[in-house]
Amino acid sequence: MNYSSLEIWTIIGLMALGSFLIRFSFLGLVGNREMPKWFLRHLRYTPLAVMPGLIAPLVLWPAGTEGQTDPARLIAAAVAVTIGITSKNLIAAVTGGMVALYGAQYFLG
């Protein structure tokens, strides 16, 4: 990498400022004012609107296989979803998913 020290710290500084302003945005500007009802109705679905979309490409085209779809990872994701929905237990879902991943990698070669 050929950036000068100043350029690197500029990138870090602006990334930090931008990330903070994005996170602080509504907390800071809206604060304790009421938001419209229709807007709140949409916000109720924020976690399920963002997170599944964020990871779906990582499941189908994993970074660890340079984008090649991997049956072991698909099995692991399915196991984690199933355990997560049925048990509603985070640790059980993560552990089950990783055990399924290592197991499937072992048996599928």
Partner 1 sequence: MSRTQSAYWQGFRAGAPFILVVIPFALLFGVVATEAGLKVIETMGMTVLVIAGTAQFAAIALMRDEAPTYIVLATAMAVNLRMAMYSASITPYLGQATLLQRIFVGYLLVDQSYAMSITKFETNPDLTMRQKLGFFFGTMTLIAPLWYVFTLVGALVGQAIPPQFALDFAVPITFIAITAPMMRTPAHLAAAFVSVTVSLLLAFLPYNLWLMIAAVLAMMTGAQVELWMERRAL
Per the CB < 8 A criterion, the answer to whether 100 and 75 are in contact is: yes
In the bound complex, what is the minimum distance in angstroms from residue 38's beta carbon to partner 1? 7
Instruction: Reduce the DSSP state of residue 98 to 3 states and report it.
Output: helix
Query: Which lies closer to partner 1 via its Cβ, residue 27 or residue 107?
Result: 27
Residues 6+ apart with CB under 8 A from 59: 73, 74, 77
Per the CB < 8 A criterion, the answer to whether 61 and 69 are in contact is: yes
Chain-centre distance of CA 69, in angstroms?
19
In the bound complex, what is the minimum distance in angstroms from residue 54's beta carbon to partner 1? 6
In the bound complex, what is the minimum distance in angstroms from residue 24's beta carbon to partner 1? 3
Query: Which lies closer to partner 1 via its Cβ, residue 54 or residue 107?
Result: 54
In the bound complex, what is the minimum distance in angstroms from residue 40's beta carbon to partner 1? 6
